[in-house]
Structures are given as C-alpha cells and as structure tokens.
Amino acid sequence: MSANNPWFLLALVATVGLYHLELIATLLNLSALKPEPPDAMRATTDQDTHERALEYARVTAKQGVMENSIALTLMLGFWFMGGFTWLDHLIHGWHLSPVARGLAIIGVMFMARQVVSFPFDVYDTFVIERGFGFNKTTLATFVLDRIKGLMLLAALGLPFMALLLWLFTISNFAALYGWLAVSAFSLLMSFIAPRLIMPMFYKFTPLEDAELRAKIHELSMRLTFPVADVSVVDGSRRSTKANAFFAGFGKAKRIALFDTLLKNHTHDEILAVLAHEIGHCKRRHVPKQIVLSLISSAVMFALLHFALQDPRLCAAFGIGRPSITWSLVFFSIAFQPLNLALSLFGGHLSRKFEIEADAFARTAMGSATPMIHALTKLSRDHLSNPTPHPFYVFLHYSHPPVLQRVAALES
Ligand SMILES: [Zn+2]
C-alpha cells in the first residue's frame, strides 16, 4: 500500500474522483430546478404537484449524497486501516479450498455492502417514498423481498462464481472462458427472469377489461406483432409507480401491464405505451443492447487478463498473497471509471432508442397526442424532475427527460 504503486493511485483516484463527479452532477441538477412547471407540462401538472416534484428531487439528492459520503468514508477507512489484510487473514484461518475461500471473500464483501446500504434502503422506502405517497410496501413484504432476493442471488450467483473462480485456477485463458460464461449466464437470465423470477415477486392475472383486450388485439394485428396473452401485474402492492413490460422471445410475446398504469391512464394512452414497447421490439433494440453489453464485458475481461498478471494490484490493498478473488474485487474498484465510460455509451444508445420507440408509437397511433399525454402524466405521477441538468442526464438517464421526448414527438 504505497503511493509508488500505480494500482494504489488508480484505485484511489477512481474512488474519490467518482464520488466528486457524482456530487458535482447532483449539485448541477439541483441548480437547474425551475420554480414553475414548464409549458409542455401545464396541461397535466399544477403548481402544487410541481412543487412536490421539486421537493422530491431535493430530498432524494440529499439522501444520495449522504449515502455516497458514508460509503466512501467506510470504504477508505477499511482500506487504509488494513481491513482487507485483516479479512484475508481471517478467511485463511477457516482452511477452505481455494474456490470456497474465494466465495467466502466475495460473500463477506457483498454482505458488508448490503449492511451499509440496508438502513438507507429502509429510509428511502418507508420515509421518502412513503412520504411522497409512492410506497405501498409493508415492512413484511419489504423484508420478504430482500430475503427472496438474497436467496435467489445465492442460488444462482454462488455456483456461477464458483465456476468462474475454478476456471481461473485451471487455465491461462480464463478471461476468455470467463467472458463466455458471463455472456451465456446473462443471456440465460434475460430469458428466464420474466418467466421464473418476476412471478416470485409479483402476481400475474389475466386482463379482465374486454374492451381493452380487443383494442390491444387490434393494435397487435395492425402492427403484425402477435401477442400470446395480456396480463396484469400487482405493482400497486409495492409502489404507485406505473410500468409496462414484455416477456418472451420468438413468435409469441406476453404483455404485462402494471395495475397502476391501467388505473391512471386512458385506453389510448395505454395503447400508445404498448405501441412504444412494440417499437422497441420491432427496431430490435434489445438484441442491439445485448451485443453492446457483450462488447463492454469483453473489454473488461481483456483488461482483467492483464491486471491479473500484476501482483501489485493486490499489494495496493494490503494483500501479500495475491489471489484471483482479491484481484477480481480490486479490479472492480480500480476500473470503475472505465465501467462508467462504457455505461455512458450504453445510456446514450438507450436514450436514442427511446426517441425511436416514441416515434414508432406516434406512427402506430396516427397521432402524437396519446403518447405525449401518457408521458406527461407518468412524469407527473412519478414526480419526475422535468428539467434535469444535461450533465446529470448524461451520467444517469436511460430515458431522455420528458420535455425532450415531447419535443421530439411534436417535431
Ligand atoms: Zn422505452
């Protein structure tokens, strides 16, 4: 652990630099808030609702800065006080096999992160989201979701991590095999998540509204987009925020509409939202995003291959006997900026795709109005910040801000 070690400097600059980047983006975002609702929102948003949106933006920003500051302090404190060395000695004392030891290290690091973020999540859900009327979750559902999530992660993640660590112990080309394994795993997950995992958290029931069913059927026939079934998801049990999504590959698609979307929107607006989702499928946005993420992870694994050869990576964190697991952990810390750069590209692409899907919905509906109404109402109901700072959008937004989408629809 010294300033002569390039990994030490890289990891320190990455950690502290990203914290400050986030802080600057948040401050810029707060300074861009406007006291009055923008003209395009006036039809749906009154002054009161707008002021609640401003308050929501301020409260969530404060919460984010606080959580990041505490996480940074704990991380630097743990690092500089020899926490990694201590943990390495502790786990070595358990006399495990190399793979099991690796899993123990990753498990402990992961649980530590969970323990730090848990109080913030509780505050976020039960104070902020409840205070603004979004949260409908009971403490029991919240805790049960957590336990289910952790069990699922353990059931899927641990065997996968074991495979990855084992590959690194047997082969010099492990980075290549690792990339193939991660690619296969994420493709498999995107396939099974909506079928197996979503139903573990939500209840799906067939859509009862016969008139809406007929209209959806008509829309899907007109767009030559065969739909196998339309179901309703009980999103309102957790949050009042609305959503719609698709599941299914190949010919038969399944549509799932959140009950919150059904409750607050007209049939035309719901159809516009569906047409937007169909637009994503028709323009092959998902496969394009999958290809991009495979390329990003290939870049990361290629760099990992070189980082693993260098014992100074582990030394930078006070680990005297380098191991694959520690190298993986420290690599993920030192290469955060590159990871961010890759995700910025992904975000840019995603925002471009949203504009394309909106344009598809406008054509499908024969008018921009239903989509504009749906977007402005969703923005109002989610208390979205209508005027986020462009730098904040650049860093974080997967969807363009509502005003930009409305302007594109009107053009
Ligand atoms: Zn979209």
Annotation marks residue 234 as catalytic: no
For 253, the 3-state DSSP assignment is strand
Q: Which two tokens stand for residue 295?
A: 């390329």
Determine the pLDDT at residue 53: 94
Domain shared by 397 and 289, yes or no: yes
Neighbours of 248 (CB within 10 A): 16
Domain shared by 293 and 259, yes or no: no
Q: Which two tokens stand for residue 214?
A: 């007929």
Give the pLDDT confidence of 82-93 residue by residue, as tens digits. Answer: 999 999 999 999
Domain shared by 400 and 291, yes or no: yes
pLDDT (mean) for 288-313: 92
Domain boundary, last residue among 264, 297, 332: 264
Whether 191 maps to a domain, the answer reads no
Residue 152 has pLDDT above 80, yes or no: yes
Contact call for residues 232 and 257 (beta carbons, < 8 A): yes
| Side-chain half-sphere CA neighbours of 105 within 13 A | 31
Tokens 């690091």 locate to: 109
Domain shared by 22 and 131, yes or no: yes
Q: Indicate the number of domains in the chain.
A: 2
Ligand 1 center to 220 CA (angstroms) = 17
Residue 1 has pLDDT above 60, yes or no: no
Domain shared by 128 and 208, yes or no: no
| Side-chain half-sphere CA neighbours of 380 within 13 A | 21
Q: What is the mean pLDDT of the chain?
A: 91
Give the pLDDT confidence of 202-251 residue by residue, as tens digits. Answer: 888 999 999 999 999 999 999 998 887 888 988 888 887 767 666 554 55
CA 316 to chain centre: 30
22, 88, 129, 358: the active-site residue = 358
Ligand 1 center to 401 CA (angstroms) = 12
Residue 94 has pLDDT above 90, yes or no: yes
Q: What share of the chain is helix, strand, coil (3-state, %, to 5)?
A: 75, 5, 20
Whether 81 maps to a domain, the answer reads yes
Which CATH number characterizes residue 260's domain? 3.30.2010.10
Ligand 1 center to 277 CA (angstroms) = 6
Whether 172 maps to a domain, the answer reads no
Domain shared by 226 and 323, yes or no: no
Ligand 1 center to 246 CA (angstroms) = 11
Domain boundary, last residue among 213, 234, 264: 264
Determine the pLDDT at residue 253: 76
Domain shared by 249 and 291, yes or no: no
Domain shared by 225 and 345, yes or no: no
Determine the pLDDT at residue 42: 85
Determine the pLDDT at residue 250: 54
Neighbours of 167 (CB within 10 A): 18
Query: Which residues span the domain enclosing 389?
Result: 6-135+283-410
Whether 237 maps to a domain, the answer reads yes
22, 124, 269, 277: the active-site residue = 277
How far is residue 313's CA from residue 304's CA, in Å, rounded to a whole number? 11
Write phi, then psi, for 320 (nearest 5 degrees).
Answer: -80, -35
Give the pLDDT confidence of 358-411 residue by residue, as tens digits. Answer: 999 999 999 999 999 999 999 999 999 999 999 999 999 999 999 999 999 999
Domain shared by 14 and 112, yes or no: yes
Domain shared by 216 and 295, yes or no: no
pLDDT > 90 in the chain, percent: 73
Determine the pLDDT at residue 276: 94
How far is residue 134's CA from residue 353's CA, in Å, rounded to a whole number? 28
Whether 168 maps to a domain, the answer reads no
pLDDT > 70 in the chain, percent: 97
In the DSSP assignment, the letter for residue 29 is H
DSSP string covering 263-295, please? HHS-HHHHHHHHHHHHHHHHTTHHHHHHHHHHH
* Residue 153 identity: L
Whether 140 maps to a domain, the answer reads no
Question: Which long-range CB contacts under 8 A does 69-77 form with residues at least 24 apart?
Answer: 69/19, 70/116, 71/116, 71/117, 72/15, 72/16, 72/19, 74/116, 75/15, 76/15, 76/16
Domain shared by 90 and 127, yes or no: yes
DSSP string covering 167-208, please? HHHH-TTHHHHHHHHHHHHHHHHHHHIIIIIHHHHS-EEE--
Give the pLDDT confidence of 172-215 residue by residue, as tens digits. Answer: 888 899 999 999 988 888 778 777 787 888 888 999 999 999 99
Annotation marks residue 39 as catalytic: no
Determine the pLDDT at residue 212: 95
Give the pLDDT confidence of 49-70 residue by residue, as tens digits. Answer: 999 999 999 999 999 999 999 9
Q: How confident is the model at residue 252 (pLDDT cuts 50, 70, 90)?
A: low
Give the pLDDT confidence of 18-48 residue by residue, as tens digits. Answer: 999 999 999 999 999 999 999 888 888 899 9
pLDDT (mean) for 151-169: 91
Ligand 1 center to 190 CA (angstroms) = 17
Domain shared by 257 and 222, yes or no: yes
Whether 352 maps to a domain, the answer reads yes
Whether 117 maps to a domain, the answer reads yes
